[in-house]
Structure 1
Amino acid sequence: MMDNEYGIVSQMGIEKATKKFEVLFEEMPEAFFLHNFRGNIKKANKKACEFFELTKENLETMNVTSFISNDVIDSFKSGLKNQIDEKQFRLETSYNSKKNTKVPVEITSRIIKLGKAGMILTGFRDITVRKHYENLLIEAKIQAECNENELKLIFDNSPSSIFIFDEKLNILRMNNKAVEKFKINSSEIGNLNIGELINFIISGCNSFHYNGNNASSLLNIFLETTKGIKFTKEEVQVSIKTDNLLIDKTFQVSTSLLNNNNHSVYLATIDDVTKRKKIEQDLLSAKEKAEESDRLKSAFIQNLHHEIRTPLNGILGFIDFFADDSYNFTIEEKRELIEVMHKSGDRLLKTINDLLEISKLESGIQKVNNEIFDLKTHLGHFIQEHQIKFHKSEIEFIYEIDSSLEKKMINTDKSKLFQTIQNFLDNAFKFTHKGIINLKFCAENDSLIIYVEDSGIGVAPEFHDLIFKPFWQVHKDLDRYYEGNGLGLAVSKKTVCTLGGELFMKSELGKGSTFIIKLPKAVVFREQQVSSNTITNKEVSLEGKTILICEDDKFNHIYLEAVLIREKCKLIHASNGIEAVELFKMNPAIDIVLMDLKIPEMNGFKASSRIKEIRSNIPIIAQSAFALDNDKQRAFKAGCIDYLTKPINSDLLIATITKYLSSSS
């Protein structure tokens, strides 16, 4: 009787427990299913019907895998099989709703027993909100309070050094970046104060020593944080000593209260922004340089207007005088006017040459053509050519070659060397009103040393580097009285560097300047001189000589014709390359050819080659406004024997023609 009563009571308890389970199951706030180990649903609660928008009858005829994306079905099935041993299973997947949108869900399963039967209770949870918060750092930190794994992932993989500390500045936690940055073992973290990581010294055992005096500004940020003040991207300069080297660093610090649950906890991030600050400083410096460059270029354009229009006025203005018959100039007055026009033309030509030269140097197309030459001979020619320019009543010009250069030759680009010397001398004469200008050459082992000294106005020390910058001038205001375009010294310095040399400067305001050029390996013994093919000019008359002029520009042709008619030459004119070749074929008496390189139909290079094929010994003199070395080399390769750059000096033209007619006679 007792057993029977116990069985009835036990049966009632089971039924009561089952009924209680069914009530709880039906009212659960999440979607739940009861299903067998094959996934066939036996029972679904009310929330499941709402979540999947299906009736209870439909749900209880379906399989759990109907709500799982295809890519994780195998994982779910294998998970169900393992539940017998594991007792529970968890999986995240997505569910395609009837609105054709993917809803992220979390599936949890565990084995339960209802009576004697084993069943699986599976729940579906919509985790859309949680997934959204995982993508936001600040919300992930809040979520991390409940989910330590997610917080650790964000915390440890942050590119910033992160510290969590208490009100006494004791470090509670550091992320991987901080451990790596400050080279400490994770086991040491619990015994560290954040002050020990400020202005630290890394010793052989990787221990840290806090120096409070040097770190007050950084330490103050953490102390103020514990008082409730929040810092955002505060930049602090810190000196770090490591391996006996003192390195200046810039740290960017941000702090905030992490939580306050009867125990204040604070968070700080430290980023080493030293490289970024350097980049910012470099960008700022570049901006300032660009602005300075703009100012210089604006000043240069104004100056260029002045340097072009002023000499043009000196040319065109005086031409108007000559055109007006009402002016009865004496011979002396005409000479003075012509001298002014020549000086204006030289000034204009120098401005153009400087512009071309700086362009070639900046673009890197300037080539060096070394040759071995006698310094004394060529210096004499140079001085003679510029003797009018170097003669001023209140200035004594001295030049000398030191005895150390006797019986020695110079091996460098002669043209560039003397052009550079001319630039320095022009500069010396421009800024010297009275006194001495000295040009001196000497040797130091195999190096050629050139001194250009003057007793002029000098340059203040703060401008010593600036005067070699393109377009830069000490006197840039409108009240200055020194002509020039601000390119001469820039061209000279770049040319010296192109020649493989060095340039030094000594100057003091009011006490003159000295420019020193040093060209290594430029001095060679006379025995190394190569055999010279220099032509010795004989007295040759151009009267009756036939010259073919190939020139398409009308005014250039008129100029050449005016120069050569005075020499009683016979002139033949061609306006293009094809015509030049045909006229040469028809006139075997032609003695020499003046060939412009830029002409229509057929350029001067091709025309010269064709003419040389007809008669190989005909001298062809190239004439062009091109001033590039590669154009000269192309002309010589095409068969030209010499090269004259426009504007062509009449004396130089006659001398060059005479030289080659002399060699062929």
Structure 2
Amino acid sequence: MNTRKFKTNKLISLNRYFFIPIALILFFLTFYMIYEDIKNNTINDFNNEQLILAETASQGITFFIDDCQSELVFLAKFKQIIDFSDESKALMTNYYETHKSIVTAITRIDTAGVILYTYPYNQSAIGQDISYQNHVQQVLVNQKPVLSDVFMSAQGFLAIALHVPVFKNETFVGSLAVLIPIDGLGKLYLGKIKNRKNGHAWLLSENGIEIYCPISGHTGESILETSEQDGSTIEMLEQIKNNNTGTGKITHQDVFDKDNTKDLDLYYAFYRIPLGNTYWTILISYQEKDIYIALSRLRNRLIFVFSLLFIALSFYFYSLTKVRNLLREEAKRKEVEKTLLKSEEKFRKIFDDHAAVKLLIDPNTGNIIDANKSAAKYYGWSCEELTKMNVGLLNGLSSQEIMKNIESVLSENKNQFEFKHQLKDGTIRDVKVLSSKIKIDNNNVLHSIIQDITKRKNAEALLKEKTDKIKSQNKEYQQINEEYLQINEELNQTNQELTIAKEKAEESDHLKTAFLHNISHEIRTPMNAIVGFSGLLNDPDLLSEDRQYFTDLIIQSSDQLLSIITDIVSIASIEAGQEEVQGNEININLICKLINEQFFPRDTNPNVTFRLQTPLSDDDAIIITDSTKLTQILSNLVGNALKFTQEGFVNFGYTVKDNWLEFFVEDSGIGISSDMHAEIFKRFRQVESTSARTYGGSGLGLSISKAYVEMLGGHIWLSSEVGKGSVFYFTLPYKTVNSKSIPELPLNELNVEFIKPKTVLIAEDEDFNFILLEKFFSDIKMNIIRAINGLEAVAICKSNPQVDLILMDIKMPEMDGYEAAKRIKEFRPNLSIIAQTAYSNEADKNKAIACGCSDFISKPFKRELLLSKINEQLLK
């Protein structure tokens, strides 16, 4: 009996001791599972915290890029930027000085990807072709805003470029770009993020370039290179490519000391920022030891409890079971407590320490229920004072207006506003407010971020004020001698600006002096020939062939002198704003053929070939434009081509492109260097500007042509290279009409014959002009009557009904030709009157027609042209 009892007690004892190791094993497994579960939950909490930080930083970067792009688009609409005038440099300088805290350069680029100008001024960068850069190629092809990846700028430093296209009348003329330092945005929006003890905040480009990294030597490098192509890095980049946000684990290299590095396992959370043509990614990481630090207190507590339980289990298993149950209940309670507090703690930490100005607002009343430290610093009131205020005390809005804005945010119709906020010291600041709806304690609250935009508003107002001043000043320039550019007022009158103004004034004086010397030479040269050879014609022993030769030289020199005078009158008329467009139906094929006959007769230089291209049929070649101006444009361009081409070819004509006619004049002459392409269209500018010029000319022809082309609604440009010839292009609107023009007979086929003699009244006060007209009509059956003033012309017409036509000089004593024509038309309304005058602009012609004249001819004129007009009037 005793033996059985002993065995039974021994068996119970053995079972009890056997159960203790099993219980310990179960305890260790439970401890491990609890600890791993808490660890995973902590990691998830950490990741969620990183995502909130990343999303907040992304909003700042997005706002910056959007604001920067908006400002560049606004700046790209200025005429000075579009035309790249001298004023554009000042605008770019002003923009840079306003934004230099984050922008390192502003650059203007042409349609070929060549840098026209950059500020801060960098001589080595200007003129560089950067079309090889991917972002430049994108903006040239797509003509849309482009944000670049990290690249080496022409100025010699790593940067990020934001490009916006520049258009002139919907035509792409280049781009405007700013350079942002590679780590500037990262320092501004990520540098202040406090992420645990060992965490980092990175900023990656779409291609994996570390735009910002606090680890020395990483910024500007590929994350694949800094991680030595680690597989976890490749997986992370693939995850970023396919998702907007997410978390994971990565192996990243860190500096251990000056000479060594080590690989660290990092937990990360990423948030992808969409930026138009690309995207950036914010990465926020922390080390695994940060988790252990957070868990160390719980771990130590569990170890202590485990020790107590181990001692208790040594004495009694039941105590172990009871303690384990107590621990489970304690863990559950703490987990619930942590769950309730962690959301508020995370938000409170981010809210209080954030660099941005933040307010929490009650959507039912508009009262401020919380404010962070940045808000107190900005407004001047303490956080406690702000929480006792209504938001209307800041923005000055009525309660109805406040509730209307709150409703817009709650309904997600609008979340961005611009207000004027008043600070405690009475200062009024312009602010942008970004509001969103969040939940706190299951209640809706407005979370508002306030950004000060006063500097931007002031800069915009100042820029507009200066731009308006520039436009107002430009309208006051009406005389050629007033070409000095008033640049001494655009923000600071520095010595550099004064020097630039002085240089421009000296250059203008030099150009005008050179022009006057040139014009004096160009006028005196043909005058010398005219005076000299005219004197030789009086020699009675002069051979007939020499007399003919001298006569031809006099005529040629007279044409040259007339061309110079016509250019001077035309440029003066353009400058005075007296030129008007006289639209009429013309046949461009006929005009091109007349130009061809004028400049390319049979005895033209045999070393120069020529070809005319007129692809339209005569029916389709009838358009509405000013024939006089079109003829002068073509004459100037073709004349220049012949003057600068000693051998080779001269081709001219036109092509049709959409609703435009594109005229061209091509030659194989001396060519023009690229630095003169824009200069030669300016007044007084010539490729040759020294006294040892090879070719003559006034230097006004291309300036007149450019003005006429623009008056007719077109555009003129050239393509040329020294030694390889030139091609001048200009466009005109292709406005077709249904009528058909009747080509005029060439002048050399004119034959004035009448069935019976005609009576012509010549109203001319100058004797030599009358003698010249008599000579013109010496071989024609025509009765000539002379009047020496307007009164006499009116009297002769009243007393002599046989007068068939009047050649009416405009400028005469006692009564001018305008008044005489008007009076004659009162009693002879069908009598043809041709006005003749030394005045040659459109206004004089229009005035003559309005007074009753049938046609108009400018002095000096060719005999053939005069006979053509008389023939046309008498054969009506």
TM-score (norm 2): 0.43
Distance in structure 1 (CA, Å) of the matches to 2:518 and 2:724:
27
CA contact (8 A) 2:836 2:858 kept: yes
Q: Does the alignment pair 1:334 with 2:544?
A: no
Q: Structure 1 pair 442/275, CA: closer, same or farther in 2 (3 Å)?
A: closer
Q: Does the alignment pair 1:359 with 2:572?
A: yes
Q: Which residue of 2 aligns with 1:479?
A: 692
The 5 A counterparts of 1:243-392 are 276-277=491-492, 284-325=499-540, 327-331=541-545, 333-388=546-601, 391-392=604-605
Displacement of 1:407 after TM fit? 3.0
1:316 is aligned with what amino acid? V
CA contact (8 A) 1:307 1:485 kept: yes
Displacement of 1:274 after TM fit? 11
Displacement of 1:516 after TM fit? 0.7
Match among 763, 778, 785 for residue 550 of structure 1:
763
Displacement of 1:650 after TM fit? 1.2
Distance in structure 2 (CA, Å) of the matches to 1:390 and 1:187:
93
Displacement of 1:187 after TM fit? 7.1
Q: Structure 1 pair 426/382, CA: closer, same or farther in 2 (3 Å)?
A: closer
SS across alignment from 1:304: helix
Match among 812, 815, 831 for residue 618 of structure 1:
831
The 5 A counterparts of 1:119-134 are none
Q: Which residue of 1 aligns with 2:635?
A: 422
CA contact (8 A) 2:599 2:639 kept: no
What count of residue pairs does the alignment treat as equivalent?
406
SS across alignment from 1:560: helix
Q: Does the alignment pair 1:496 with 2:496?
A: no
- Structure 2 alignment gaps of length 5 or more: 1-376, 383-429, 434-452, 463-487
CA contact (8 A) 1:391 1:397 kept: no
Displacement of 1:343 after TM fit? 1.3
SS across alignment from 2:736: strand
CA contact (8 A) 1:404 1:443 kept: no
Displacement of 1:512 after TM fit? 0.8
Distance in structure 1 (CA, Å) of the matches to 2:495 and 2:779:
68
Q: Structure 1 pair 474/378, CA: closer, same or farther in 2 (3 Å)?
A: closer
CA contact (8 A) 1:357 1:491 kept: yes
CA contact (8 A) 2:760 2:782 kept: yes
CA contact (8 A) 1:577 1:604 kept: yes
Q: Structure 1 pair 274/651, CA: closer, same or farther in 2 (3 Å)?
A: closer
Match among 641, 644, 648 for residue 431 of structure 1:
644
Distance in structure 2 (CA, Å) of the matches to 1:493 and 1:282:
30
Distance in structure 2 (CA, Å) of the matches to 1:185 and 1:389:
87
Q: Which residue of 2 aligns with 1:508?
A: 721
Q: Which residue of 1 aligns with 2:7?
A: none
Q: Does the alignment pair 1:463 with 2:676?
A: yes
CA contact (8 A) 1:542 1:569 kept: no
CA contact (8 A) 2:790 2:815 kept: yes
Displacement of 1:468 after TM fit? 0.8
- Structure 1 alignment gaps of length 5 or more: 1-182, 189-201, 206-239, 250-272
Displacement of 1:411 after TM fit? 1.9
Distance in structure 2 (CA, Å) of the matches to 1:383 and 1:419:
13
2:543 is aligned with what amino acid? F
Match among 522, 529, 532 for residue 739 of structure 2:
529
Distance in structure 1 (CA, Å) of the matches to 2:710 and 2:655:
19
Q: Deviations over 1:520-544 (max 9, x none)?
A: 2x2415xx22787989988523873
The 5 A counterparts of 1:576-655 are 576-655=789-868
Distance in structure 2 (CA, Å) of the matches to 1:307 and 1:554:
29
Q: Which residue of 2 aligns with 1:559?
A: 772
> What is the RMSD computed on CA atoms of the aligned residues?
3.4
Deviates more, 1:649-658 or 1:359-368: 649-658
Distance in structure 1 (CA, Å) of the matches to 2:660 and 2:587:
15
Q: Structure 1 pair 440/611, CA: closer, same or farther in 2 (3 Å)?
A: same
Displacement of 1:434 after TM fit? 0.8
Q: Structure 1 pair 204/410, CA: closer, same or farther in 2 (3 Å)?
A: closer
CA contact (8 A) 1:621 1:640 kept: yes
CA contact (8 A) 1:437 1:455 kept: yes
CA contact (8 A) 2:589 2:618 kept: no
Distance in structure 2 (CA, Å) of the matches to 1:610 and 1:379:
40
1:318 is aligned with what amino acid? F
1:305 is aligned with what amino acid? S
Q: Structure 1 pair 616/203, CA: closer, same or farther in 2 (3 Å)?
A: closer
Q: Deviations over 1:320-348 (max 9, x none)?
A: 111122x42133x2222222111111110
CA contact (8 A) 1:390 1:397 kept: no
Q: Structure 1 pair 204/595, CA: closer, same or farther in 2 (3 Å)?
A: closer
Q: Structure 1 pair 288/394, CA: closer, same or farther in 2 (3 Å)?
A: same
The 5 A counterparts of 1:45-84 are none
Displacement of 1:275 after TM fit? 5.5
1:373 is aligned with what amino acid? I
SS across alignment from 1:481: coil
Distance in structure 1 (CA, Å) of the matches to 2:629 and 2:490:
43
Displacement of 1:589 after TM fit? 1.1
Displacement of 1:444 after TM fit? 1.1
Q: Structure 1 pair 542/368, CA: closer, same or farther in 2 (3 Å)?
A: farther
Q: Which of 1 and 2 has greater Rg?
A: 1
Q: Structure 1 pair 328/405, CA: closer, same or farther in 2 (3 Å)?
A: closer
SS across alignment from 1:565: coil
CA contact (8 A) 2:622 2:740 kept: no
Q: Structure 1 pair 533/346, CA: closer, same or farther in 2 (3 Å)?
A: closer
SS across alignment from 2:822: helix
Q: Deviations over 1:547-584 (max 9, x none)?
A: 11111122211211221233242211111111110111
Q: Structure 1 pair 363/596, CA: closer, same or farther in 2 (3 Å)?
A: same
The 5 A counterparts of 1:2-41 are none
Q: Structure 1 pair 563/531, CA: closer, same or farther in 2 (3 Å)?
A: closer
Q: Deviations over 1:210-261 (max 9, x none)?
A: xxxxxxxxxxxxxxxxxxxxxxxxxxxxxx9988xx99x9xxxxxxxxxxxx
CA contact (8 A) 1:458 1:508 kept: yes
